[in-house]
Structures are given as C-alpha cells and as structure tokens.
Amino acid sequence: MIYLDNAATTFPKPQSVRRAAANSVMTMANPGRSGHRPAMAAGEMIYRCRVKASEFFGAGSVENVIFTPGCTYSANMVIKGLLKSGDHAVVSDMEHNAVMRPMHTMSEKGVAYTIARTGETDDETLASFRDALRSNTRLVICTHVSNVWGQRLPVERIAALCRQYGIPVMTDAAQSAGVFPINAEENGIDFICAPAHKGLYGTMGTGILIARHPELLKTITEGGTGSGSLSLSQPDFPPDKFESGTPNVPGIAALSAGLDFVKQTGVERIHDHEVKLVTYLYDRLSKMSSITLYTPRPNAMRNGGLLSFNVGNLSSEETAAYLFEKGIAVRAGLHCSPLAHRRYGTEKRGAVRISTSYFNTMNEMESAARAISMIAR
Ligand code: PLP
C-alpha cells in the first residue's frame, strides 16, 4: 500500500517511536503517584519530553507544556477555558471542527464570533482579521496550515497585530507542527495546540497545549494530579492545574521519540521534501484536463505537504475508492472542515486529499499520478 493520508495521522512511525512506546509499556508505571522505580522512570521520561517540547515550541518554561489527549482537546481547553458570555472571538475560515464545534458551543453560551476570510495574499488575510476585531474581542484563532488546502496562514503577523491590542492568539498547529517552524515566544503566540501523531510522528490519542499564558485559562477538567491531594481544589499551578488523571505514558514516550526524530531530521528538510512531492504531483495533475485543482501551485513559503483535488464528475469518495483499489490510501470528503470547503465551493462534493510525510518518495508520487490519470481517462 502507498499511504498518502498523513494529514490524518503519519504512517508508518519511525522505528525509534515504536520502540519508545513499547518500552514504556514494558518498564513504566503511573508517574507522580509513587516512589518506586517504574513510576519514577515514567516521571523522568515525561519531564524530559516536556523539556524537549518546551524548546521545540518556544514555550518559555517547561510548566507551559501541557499534555492532552489530542489537538481537539487542547483547542477545547483554550476556547472553553478562556471565553465567557459577552466575549467576542475571531476565527479564520479554514478552521477544523476541533475549533468550530467548541466555538459553536460557546456561542450558545453568549460568546459571539466572527469568521475572518482568508485572502489570496497574506496582506488580504491580515486585513480580514483586522476588520473583524471588536472592543470585546478576547481571543483570535487562526489555524497555521489548512488541513484541506495545505496553505499556510500568516499566524505570526496576526499575532503581531493582536499584540497591539492585548488580544491572546491561539493557533491550531495540527498540520504544521514538525513541518513548519513555530515558536510561541518568538512569534508572540499565546496558545499552540498540536497533536503528537501527525508531523511529530507520535501515536494517536496524544496532544500538546503550549500555554504561554496559562493563568488566562480556567480548567475544563479536574481530578487527581498526585499533588496537593488534601485539598479539594484543583492545584492552581501549571502543568498540574491542567493535567488531571493518569497521563498517556506510551503516547508521551512516543512523542518524545518523535520530537527527537523531527529534530534530528530537521523541520526544514522534512518540509522541503514534502513540498517537492506535492509540487511534482500538482504539475502532473495540472496537465490532466479532467482534474480540478483548487489552489495555486504549491510554494515552499506558503504550503505544507498536502494537495486536494477532484476528478471529472466523480464524487471525492468514488475517486478515493478507485485509488484504494489500486493500493493508494488517501482521504475524501470534508476532512472535518466544512468552512474550508465552503471557501472553495466544495462543501457538497468534498475533495480528494493527498498528504505526505517524510517517508513518502517521488516514485510513490509517480504511482499516484498514474493511478489518478487512469481514473481521469
Ligand atoms: N485541527 C486540524 C487542522 C486537524 O487536521 C486535526 C486532525 O485531523 C485536528 C485539529 C484534530 O486533531 P486530533 O484528532 O489529534 O485531536
């Protein structure tokens, strides 16, 4: 099988990641609860992962690294932990339902929000965000890279704009973490939400929240933390304030090894490789008359390693099913991002998404191009 659904989760995982997850299951116990060796080993591993993640994302301090069950959970923590009735928020028109559904829930609780339209240029996108700001705007959310169209949004410039007004900024880095550099301190981003299992090559069901201003967040879950157990009140210091219950030790062990893999390989190298792959495919597809490509040719500054398209009058699901018959795994449909599809008029039909990882090759792109051209004919 040629796996081209890496935006859903990267597959395969590096051997070091598989080993780290297996090793944690065989040697580690519940951290922070007991003083015996397997518990201590887990606690030390988690601390090391926190240090690596803090450096990787520019968290400013290890306490600002919060482990979560996924990017969705991280986004919920920020949206529900920060906003309250009477507040206003701004979101981009490329947001995933990981952002839109909690925003919708908050809108039923008196939070208003405005959708800022992405433009053809970063200047236009920035202008949309500027126009959307109000005196009661308490949060601005902008995905870093669209999970449908692969384009990068100017989060750093949006953060600089919001800093002038003292408005916190959250970015959904689900498709960029490990593929584009992102640094909370340097870029002035207050909250970065990221999954461990995509570009960081960890395992599913693990995520991270980088909270440069954890004091702005109320908790959305409380429980045992192994600290301050006599008190019924949740600890008020991070990360304990936000990490109740037994942590996902194998997931964090895998993330730790995934961060090493990305660091050793180099974010720039991974990005260049993936963009080369999708650019090659784009050029091949753009010569086929019955293929609809919705976005401009990928560009190293503006794109991650994914590309969406449709073939003739086929539904995106039909094309994906044909490709799977030919041994190529891709994703069709709406990719949990109806707004992003509405932006390009594909909300009824969806689109076929090809998404790459560092492990894909040019030969695989050629096989995909040939298979698509057979379907197109
Ligand atoms: N945000 C974007 C842009 C995504 O692509 C995804 C996953 O596909 C998510 C959020 C949700 O990530 P998770 O499933 O790890 O919670």
Instruction: Please compute the mean of the pLDDT values over residues 288-312 and round it to a whole number.
Output: 95
Residue 206 alpha carbon to ligand 1 centre in Å? 11
- Binding site membership of 226 for ligand 1 (Cβ less than 6 Å): no
Question: What confidence tens digit (pLDDT) does each residue in 164-174 have?
Answer: 999 999 999 99
Domains (range + CATH), the chain:
15-265 (3.40.640.10), 266-376 (3.90.1150.10)
pTM of the model: 0.97
Q: pLDDT over 90 for what percent of the chain?
A: 97
The atom number, within ligand 1, closest to the CA of 172 reads 1
pLDDT at 33: 72
Residue 29 has a pLDDT of: 95
Nearest to 295 by CA among 182, 152, 159, 174: 152
pLDDT at 366: 98
Report how far apart, in Å, the C-alpha atoms of 214 and of each of 82, 127, 327 are: 10, 29, 46
**Position in ligand 1 atom list of the atom nearest CA 95:** 3
Show the 3-state SS of 36-95: CHHHHHHHHHHHHHHHHHHHHHCCCCHHHEEEECCHHHHHHHHHHHHCCCCCEEEEECCC
Joined tokens for residue 244: 């109740």
Q: 239-277 in b/e burial notation, b at 16+ Cβ within 10 A?
A: bbbbbbeebbbbbbbbbbbbbbbbeeeebeebbebbbbb
Which residue's CA is the nearest one to ligand 1's atom 2? 174
- CA–centroid distance, 72 to ligand 1, in Å, is 6
Q: How much distance in Å is there from the Cα of 174 to the middle of ligand 1?
A: 5
The pLDDT tens digits of the residues spanning 28-63 come to 999 987 789 999 999 999 999 999 999 999 999 999
pLDDT exceeds 80 at position 163: yes
Q: Residue 34: what pLDDT?
A: 78
Q: Which of 71, 93, 201 to mutate to test the pocket of ligand 1 (most atoms within 8 A of CB)?
A: 71
The first and second tokens of residue 18, run together, are 């598989």
d(CA 179, CA 181): 7
Q: Does the beta carbon of 68 sit less than 6 angstroms from any atom of ligand 1? A: no
Q: What is the pLDDT of residue 132?
A: 98
CA of 301 to the centre of ligand 1 (A): 22
pLDDT tens digits for range 335-360: 999 999 998 899 999 999 999 999 99
Query: Which is nearest to 352 in space by CA: 369, 360, 366, 361?
Result: 369
Report residue 345 CA to chain centroid gap: 23
CB of 147 shorter than 6 A to ligand 1: yes
Using a 6 Å cutoff on CB, does residue 175 contact ligand 1? yes
